Structure 1
Amino acid sequence: MPDVNSITNGPNKEAITEQLFVNDGPLEQDQVAQLRPSDPTLPIEELRMRLEEDNYLFVKNLLPREDVLKAREAYFNFLSPSGVLKPGTKPVEGIFDSSKDISCFPGIGAGSTAKNEKPGGEKGAIFVDRALQAHTEEWYAEDFCKHPVLLDFVSKLSGWGEHTLHFRRSLLRNSIPGTHATSVHYDQIFLRHGEVSNLTAWCPMGDIKLNGGGLIYLEKSKSLGQEIEAEFFRRAAESGFSDEEAKYAFNNNMMATGFLSEYPVEFAKEHKRRWLVSSFEAGDVVLHDPFAIHASTVNHDKEGVIRLATDLRFCDSSQPYDKRWCNYYRIGDGA
């Protein structure tokens, strides 16, 4: 990883030599570049400028590593009754038992089953039920999601101060090697029952190798996300929808699950933009604009490490906000 203070102009120009895969195949060499990392001790004005320029802010080592790994260990201890972990390994390592059928261990909130159906059916019931219940456990919902370092950083970065509200609803996602990656989307799709005054903090809960299924960001994509949003509401108005009807129609009917595309390779070619990628360490946080378009790679970690990460979202409570996000995540909750 390069010196975070030495990178000032756009994403890191070092070449990505490792082959990365998404849901529609391998990303081509000219389709990828590196995310620009930032040091959390930089002046807050500089960090705000980077967030505005890049539409994301990749903050290195913001959270104490030991706190992140404590939450990771608690998560995999909680899921261990499902048989997901390789015998003889430590829960904090999160090593998948490759002798098992991966269809018994589906991720949640990633793709085509994210809308209304519990993935995996009966054979995945224990794993999915535990993964859902983990959202409400104290070690996650209180100790990790409300970590004072993150709350303080977001309140200062956003300028919302005492009006910074942490949404209870979050998406704690695991990614077994070889399973479906997160599809192309921007977050305002799921938060449009309020003003555009929200910020997402994507927190890897453990180290993630470059090929380990981390989040990827479409370069300079805020304007594209805003154009897509405006075009939808234009078409909805032409069809006779009220603004309120349009919000529900977009989420529930117009685009299955709300995702923009299942095909990141095709999407990047269509819009002539690159995907920005990186490896991640426990303690890193990526904050992004509500219109920043992102997805994830397929986890191809050779050691079988399960990618674990969470999406934590914050808003300015002095403005109207999406009240649906005040409840814990559940399948089919419409948000």
Structure 2
Amino acid sequence: MLTSNGYVLDESAARLGDLEPVPPSERPDREALWLRLRRDGYLYLKGQLNAGELMDFREFYFRSLEGAGVYEPGTDPRQGIAASGDVDRAALRRGLFDVVVPGPEYQALCTAKGIADWFAWFLEDDVHLHRRKIIRHTKPGEAGIGTATQAHYDLVYLRQGSDRVLSMWIPLGDCPRQRGGLTYLEGSHRWVMAGERAGTLKKPAASITADLPGLAEQRDARWLVTDYEVGDVVVHSAHIVHAALDNVERDGTMRLSTDIRYQRLREPIDWRWQEHWNYKDGL
């Protein structure tokens, strides 16, 4: 059973579907990729990144949180098995915001082969990586409003820059659907773009809802899900509605993922996103 923020998704064929990967024949074809991105709002690129490097970073991430009670003592941090006790929030913040987020390891991950070079190729221009990069882990069993990323589209948080900024979501480790991967509302970029043009969508920045099944019913649309493998990424537009599933994994494995944003350097940049992510930054 798939849930998000405790809401149970309708798994009928009319409300749940599969995320469609880009076929190998289209991967080197820039024009085909742009056609697909405009049509679907996303590009699901399987095996885009080096799996070993991602797993090395997964190990680094959890080791950096040692002492915070995040992973189970005596287990390999690379596995990311959730600890059964309470998390030391102060130690977690120190490890995350003082070590991981501003560190050279995270910067190297976000500019690795298959990322910075791919965006430069795809956008046919000099590119800019937003300094505010977000990395999250979710433990199995966390449910209820606010535990999973609610339905939203990225532009509401990036209105002071280009609306052509592209996000890349990177699972840092295998992420089958029961581990709480990202899900996309099919075709939602079309009505979001129309609403943005008409000025009828909610302002200031806010998520749309935590009720994913209700939104799918309202829009007569499907949530698209898949079983992500380490090395897979999704590139999506700033207009497509997406959210996270709850982690209902039974073996204790945590989901770890990061979302980063690239755009053409010559286009307007939202300078609020040019400082390292911090839980107090208000964005």
- What TM-score results when the alignment is normalised by the length of structure 2? 0.91
Other structure's SS at 1:77 match: helix
* 1:75 to 2:61 alignment: yes
Which among 234, 240, 250 is matched to residue 204 of structure 2? 250
Q: Which residue of 2 aligns with 1:132?
A: 97
Q: Which residue of 2 aligns with 1:322?
A: 270
Q: Letter of the 2:103 partner, please give it.
A: E
Shift of residue 127 of structure 1?
Answer: 1.6
Indicate if the aligned counterparts of 1:24 and 1:264 stay in contact, CA closer than 8 A: no
Q: Which residue of 2 aligns with 1:36?
A: 20
Q: Which residue of 2 aligns with 1:278?
A: 226
Indicate if the aligned counterparts of 2:59 and 2:78 stay in contact, CA closer than 8 A: yes
Q: Letter of the 1:199 partner, please give it.
A: L
Other structure's SS at 2:169 match: strand
Q: Which residue of 1 aligns with 2:35?
A: 49
Q: Which residue of 1 aligns with 2:108?
A: 143
Indicate if the aligned counterparts of 1:55 and 1:289 stay in contact, CA closer than 8 A: yes
* 1:287 to 2:200 alignment: no
Other structure's SS at 1:136 match: coil
Cα distance change on mapping 1:24 and 1:224 into 2, 3 Å: farther
Which among 21, 29, 34 is matched to residue 3 of structure 2? 21
Q: Which residue of 2 aligns with 1:107?
A: none
Q: Letter of the 2:245 partner, please give it.
A: T
Distance 1:332 1:269 in 2: 35
Q: Which residue of 2 aligns with 1:153?
A: 118
> Can you list the C-alpha shifts for 1:221-241, whole angstroms capped at 9, x where unaligned?
11122244345x4589xxxxx
Q: Which residue of 2 aligns with 1:211?
A: 178
User: Identity of paired residues, percent?
Assistant: 31
Q: Which residue of 1 aligns with 2:164?
A: 197
Shift of residue 148 of structure 1?
Answer: 3.2
Which among 180, 183, 189 is matched to residue 222 of structure 1? 189
Other structure's SS at 1:291 match: coil
Shift of residue 168 of structure 1?
Answer: 0.9
Other structure's SS at 1:185 match: coil
Distance 1:250 1:52 in 2: 26
- What TM-score results when the alignment is normalised by the length of structure 1? 0.77
Equivalences for 1:89-128 in 2 at 5 Å? 89-97=75-83, 99-101=84-86, 104=87, 123-128=88-93
* 1:265 to 2:213 alignment: yes
Distance 1:228 1:80 in 2: 45
> Can you list the C-alpha shifts for 1:38-83, whole angstroms capped at 9, x where unaligned?
2474422222222111100000011111111111110011012212
Aligned residue-pair number: 274
Shift of residue 128 of structure 1?
Answer: 3.0
Other structure's SS at 2:57 match: helix
> Can you list the C-alpha shifts for 1:162-191, whole angstroms capped at 9, x where unaligned?
2x1111111111111122111010000111
Shift of residue 294 of structure 1?
Answer: 0.1
Q: Which 5+ residue runs of structure 2 have no aligned equivalent?
A: none
Distance 2:9 2:268 in 1: 39
Q: Which residue of 2 aligns with 1:119?
A: none
Cα distance change on mapping 1:24 and 1:90 into 2, 3 Å: closer
> Can you list the C-alpha shifts for 1:8-54, whole angstroms capped at 9, x where unaligned?
xxxxxxxxxxx211114211122211100124744222222221111
> Can you list the C-alpha shifts for 1:285-304, whole angstroms capped at 9, x where unaligned?
10001001000100011111
Larger deviation, residues 84-93 vs 287-296: 84-93
Q: Letter of the 1:317 partner, please give it.
A: L
Distance 2:278 2:201 in 1: 30
Indicate if the aligned counterparts of 1:22 and 1:265 stay in contact, CA closer than 8 A: no
Q: Letter of the 1:125 partner, please give it.
A: A
Distance 1:41 1:200 in 2: 18
Other structure's SS at 2:108 match: coil
Indicate if the aligned counterparts of 2:153 and 2:239 stay in contact, CA closer than 8 A: yes
Distance 2:200 2:37 in 1: 28
